[in-house]
A and B are shown apart, each in its own frame.
Chain A
Amino acid sequence: MVAKRIIPCLDVKGGRTVKGINFVGLRDVGDPVELGRRYSDEGADELVFLDISATQEERGTFASLVSRIAENISIPFTVGGGISSIDDAARLLDAGADKVSVNSAAIRNPELIDSIASRYGSQFIVIAIDARQVDGRWLATTHGGTRPSDKELFSWAKEAQDRGAGELLFTSMDHDGTRAGYPLETYARLADELSIPVIASGGAGNIGHIAEVLTIGRADAALAASIFHSGEIPIPELKKELLKCKIPVRI
């Protein structure tokens, strides 16, 4: 049986990790390679590195960082942030990324999914959707949740799957940062309607929330940033607890 995956997400700017990261006993926490290795040693099943660079120069740094990550980390990793063309994806593949995640650019140009999938395979492309509820409908947003789009979550997710996306990373902008848990029914419906794996992101405040989204929400993986970076929920402890709830995880 495929194990449920636990995925820490690192925000990277100009080759350094940003956001407060508070590992006990780790003084320099700015190096994404070191952090990735640390998470990998602790039992993370996969890593996501998001490029939040604002300038071209910083973006160049990110590509060389990706090759260093590929050399040093023995688990799969996904890179995302600002990928808007097949050339962007190709550069990251050449640097050693296992997958790329696309978000805003796919909403602007859905054919980007087809072209990446047909050239490199569905396993290489993750569709990321940030959505919020408007009058009872889930609508996708772009640019980190700041701009609304006319794409409805379920139909857009299905379309992305049909175009060749190999996984869905869904973040509820209504829950992200609240630490109050995930929209479980929405995840369960996504699991029912899609055949590709669903990664839950945004909203976890405790281990119980993660257990719920992997069972009631039927998600295949849970991605989080701050609860791991803060050291609040160590991955080994999280996995031990999930195992106690009879959730299959890799120990």
Chain B
Amino acid sequence: MIAIVDYATGNIRSVINALGRIGAKDVVLTSDPALIASAERVILPGVGDASESMAALKASGLDECVKSLKQPVLGICVGMQLMCRHSEEGNVDCMGIFDCDVRRFVPQPGLKIPHMGWNSIADLRTPLFDGISEGAFVYYVHSFRPDLCDDTICRTEHGGEFSGALAHGNFYGTQFHPEKSGSIGEIILRNFIEKAL
């Protein structure tokens, strides 16, 4: 069973749709900690404001649940940011699973913010990227981004480099949206579901 953590944030339909397209069976949207703990894979989605999302996660006690998970967990976009130490968006302390902070892109001439569109990923690590070539393009939409750190498993350049994805133990996170990244995104989701992580 794949559990998608439901903490009343943004639109999770695109994640469910993408799992449907790759043929994933038994996908459950739930806020029940026991059910989440029993899943083979857990996805923490997220769209919107990091501090509000963190508050919603805490209010339902799901932050402790997520931190205690032993199976592979994938945070997407804001879901991944909540797994970092701290976010500048609303100046909020997050779960501290990944050893880095999330900061706003620093405005500079010619730099578009939000970072929106297809950008390439480099220095790919972990089986999450099995079958994907260096320089592949994935889809990003965000104004805040995680720093580079020891948990970085791919890098992307936009006014400097940041972590396009992170991993620490059984925890994974992508700043980009695999569910909107065409065939590359589908490979990443399939890897998350099928590979030994």
Contact = CB atoms under 8 A, between A and B. Distances in A.
B21 interface: yes
Contacts of B137: 3, 250
B103 interface: no
Interface string A186-205: 00000000011100000000
B180 A2 contact: no
Classify the interface of chain A: helix, strand, loop or mixed: loop
B149 interface: no
A123 B180 contact: no
Interface stretch (A68-76, A106-114, A169-177, A230-238): A68-76
Nearest to A123: B141
Contacts of A123: 114, 116, 141
B: contact size bracket: 20 to 34
B180 to A, nearest CB: 5
Nearest to B137: A250
B117 A74 contact: no
A23 B113 CA distance: 36
Interface in B17-46: 17-18, 20-21
A45 B117 contact: yes
Contact of A98 (B14, B20, B120): B14
A123 B112 CA distance: 12
A3 B136 CA distance: 11
A47 B171 CA distance: 33
Contacts of B11: 93, 96
B182 A74 contact: yes
A54 interface: no
Contacts of A75: 139, 180-182
Contacts of A70: 13-14, 17
A98 B180 CA distance: 9
B117 A121 contact: no
User: 4 closest Cβ contacts across the A-B interface?
Assistant: A250-B137, A3-B118, A250-B118, A123-B141
Given A2-B116, A74-B18, 19 more contacts: A1-B119, A2-B112, A5-B117, A40-B182, A45-B118, A70-B13, A71-B17, A72-B21, A74-B182, A74-B183, A74-B186, A75-B139, A75-B180, A96-B13, A96-B17, A167-B116, A197-B117, A220-B117, A250-B118
